[in-house]
Amino acid sequence: MSRFRRRLIMAAAAGGGEQYIQFADPVVAQICATNWGDGVGITPSQAAAVTSQQFGTKFKNNTQITSFDELEYFTGLTSIPNNAFYGCSNLTTIRIPDSVTSLGGVYCFSSSAIQSLVFKSLVSGEGPYYCTSLTCVDFPDTFTTAGSSLLRSCQAAMIAVFRGTTPPTGATGNAFSQFNANSKIYVPYSADHSVLNLYKTTDNFANQASKIYELNPDGTIPT
């Protein structure tokens, strides 16, 4: 059974028998049901219809929420709005929809307790910035435009994966500022190590050259 089916329960009054999303966090469930559902729950189709503008900052500074893996149902989001999860100091887990191609600003996840961020379609983003609990971040090969706050003040020891064979542009200024000395950056494998060498000599990646390593040829992280 897929993880989507495991998180669904039959809607009490949804037309056509559509199922409600079953949220792990009851506070998140209520916020979503109130804002975009029927007040009792929210179905996958209702979640998928929510735009980035409608999503806004409904969760900003909410210190009660602890998980939002069900964000992956919100496939109408093309951007994570700036400040969307700012100040969510107990939010540890979240799953980004594959539809998200940009981060709306530097403060999308700042001052949260998020530990892992995996992006599948991200093209551009100023952050993540000031995510002090972040220990894993995975950027896809579509990620071509970073910014001066790329992983700035992300102070925990982390694994950062960049899957593009060309480093994202814009990683200048404060990018990697206060980057933990025990962190590791992984980039695509190339037989002649040309991708590795390119990252080690580009923008502020060069300042982290001693932390940059190659992924396995199959794209997995070396153990």
Report the CATH number at residue 180. 3.80.10
pLDDT top residue among 6 and 162: 162
Give burial (CB, 10 Å; 0-12/13-18/19+) of 103: buried
Is residue 39 situated within a structural domain? no
Whether residue 141 contacts residue 117, with contact meaning beta carbons closer than 8 Å, is answered with: no
Residue 132 falls inside a structural domain: yes
> For the purposes of burial, counting CB atoms within 10 Å of the CB of 73, is it exposed (0-12), middle (13-18) or buried (19 or more)?
buried
pTM: 0.91
Whether 86 is covered by a domain: the verdict is yes
d(CA 67, CA 59): 12
Does the residue 35 lie in any domain?
A: no
Three-class secondary structure assignment of the chain = CCHHHHCEEECCCCHHHCEEECCCCHHHHHHHHHHHCCCCCCCHHHHHCCCHHHHCCCCCCCCCCCEEHHHHHCCCCCEECCCCCCCCCCCCEECCCCCCCEECCCCCCCCCCCCEEECCCCCECCCCCCCCCCCEEEECCCCCECCCCCCCCCCCCCEEEECCCCCCECCCCCCCCCCCCCCEEEECCCCCCHHHHHHCCCHHHHHHHHHEEECCCCCCCCC
Q: What is the mean pLDDT of residues 199-209?
A: 97
Is residue 1, in this structure, part of any structural domain at all?
A: no
**40 found inside a domain:** no
Q: Which domain holds residue 73?
A: 57-214
Summarised one tens digit per residue, pLDDT across range 80-127 is 999 999 999 999 999 999 999 999 999 999 999 999 999 999 999 988
Give pLDDT tens digits for 43-62: 999 999 999 999 999 999 99
Residue 18 — pLDDT band, cuts 50, 70, 90?
confident
Q: How many domains does the chain have?
A: 1
